[in-house]
Amino acid sequence: MAEDRPSRTAEAFFGRRHGKTIRPMQAAALSDVLPRLRVDLSSPAPTDPRDLFPLPVERVVLEIGFGGGEHLHHASGESPTTGFIGVEPFVNGMATFLRALEREPRPNVRLYDDDAAALLDWLPAASLDRIDLFYPDPWPKKRHWKRRFVNRANLTRFGRVLKPGGSFRFASDIDHYVNWTLLEVAAQGDLAWQAETPDDWRRPYPGWPGTRYEAKAFREGRTPAYLRFVKV
Ligand SMILES: C[S@@+](CC[C@H](N)C(=O)[O-])C[C@H]1O[C@@H](n2cnc3c(N)ncnc32)[C@H](O)[C@@H]1O
């Protein structure tokens, strides 16, 4: 119910919208391809988000902040009967992914190019099978911690839209953000961490293709953690 949802008024998107100059082919993809794939939040949400896709899909997965879309493109090719909603407000990242889609189309992908919190509030309750958040902006300075995507309000959103038994995957190379996420999830209470041995967070997820930010973390000598939580 809308009145149970966290208020958007005190929140905002803190990341960058634009980077390097957009090349002409990327600009064309943004103006021609994105409007066809964008989820329209001004329309009422479907009762079942599988109806957002032009072909039958069995389940729906949301990837928040997909960057250049390396994981999204790989995962949507590996699982053609899963519908993927990818969110990325950074225009250059979205343009990179759209060019990959032009080369290798994915009919099971829909996109949103603004704050994922707005999309989460639009989606019906208990409608997603999984939420992926890989290498979110770490905001290392203490005065910026409140900008981190993992916070009580967004975890409450996850708890609302995930189906019972649905999962939330979080990868990060920033130890402080990993510990922060474990504490915030435990305090919020809708999700249970699935780990019994250290390998459960040291090993990447099955079929993991890596991401651009992960490659940078490895180059700079940082070791990621791969967390998985389940909606209880
Ligand atoms: C550090 S990058 C990681 C990108 C990608 N996941 C990877 O691993 O290469 C974090 C991304 O999250 C996006 N982001 C930040 N805030 C967001 C929000 N509120 N909703 C959706 N995406 C967001 C940023 O635009 C940025 O591209």
Q: Please say if 132 is a catalytic residue.
A: no
174 phi and psi, to 5 degrees?
-105, 105
The answer to whether 19 and 92 have CB atoms below 8 angstroms apart is yes
Give the residue carrying structure tokens 């905002």: 12
For residues 127 and 189, give the distance between their C-alpha atoms in angstroms, rounded to a whole number. 19
* 3 — pLDDT class (breaks 50, 70, 90): very low
**Is the pLDDT at 139 greater than 90, yes or no?**
yes
Burial label for 190, CB within 10 Å (0-12, 13-18, 19+), is middle
Least confident range from 18-27, 99-108, 126-135, 170-179: namely 18-27
Q: How much is the average pLDDT of 139-149?
A: 94
Q: Amino acid identity, residue 189?
A: G
Catalytic residue of the set 114, 137, 190, 200: 137
2 phi and psi, to 5 degrees?
-55, -40
Residue 111 β-bridge partners? 38, 86
pLDDT at 11: 64
Share of the chain above pLDDT 70, in %: 95
Share of the chain above pLDDT 90, in %: 90
Dump pLDDT digits (tens) for 181-214: 999 999 999 999 999 999 999 999 999 999 999 9
Residue 138 Cα: closest atom of ligand 1: 1
Residue to probe by mutation, ligand 1, list 72, 131, 213, 219, most atoms within 8 Å of CB: 213
pLDDT at 14: 82
Q: How many angstroms does the Cα of residue 124 sit away from the middle of ligand 1?
A: 23
Q: How many angstroms does the Cα of residue 96 sit away from the middle of ligand 1?
A: 14
pLDDT at 15: 80
DSSP letter string over 120-161?
Answer: HHHSPTT-EEEEEEES-----SGGGGGGSS-SHHHHHHHHHH
* 13 — pLDDT class (breaks 50, 70, 90): confident
**Is the pLDDT at 150 greater than 60, yes or no?**
yes
Dump pLDDT digits (tens) for 51-71: 999 999 999 999 999 999 999
126 Cβ contact list (under 8 Å, min separation 6) = 160, 161, 162, 163, 164
Average pLDDT in the chain: 94
**Is the pLDDT at 147 greater than 60, yes or no?**
yes
144 phi and psi, to 5 degrees?
-105, 0
**Is the pLDDT at 223 greater than 50, yes or no?**
yes
Report residue 210 as tokens: 């890596």
Q: How many angstroms does the Cα of residue 211 sit away from the middle of ligand 1?
A: 12
**Is the pLDDT at 10 greater than 60, yes or no?**
no
Q: How many angstroms does the Cα of residue 177 sit away from the middle of ligand 1?
A: 14
Residues in contact with ligand 1 (CB, 6 Å cut-off): 13, 15, 64-67, 87-90, 93, 115-116, 134-137, 149, 211-214
Residue 14 Cα: closest atom of ligand 1: 16
Dump pLDDT digits (tens) for 64-121: 999 999 999 999 999 999 999 999 999 999 999 999 999 999 999 999 999 999 999 9
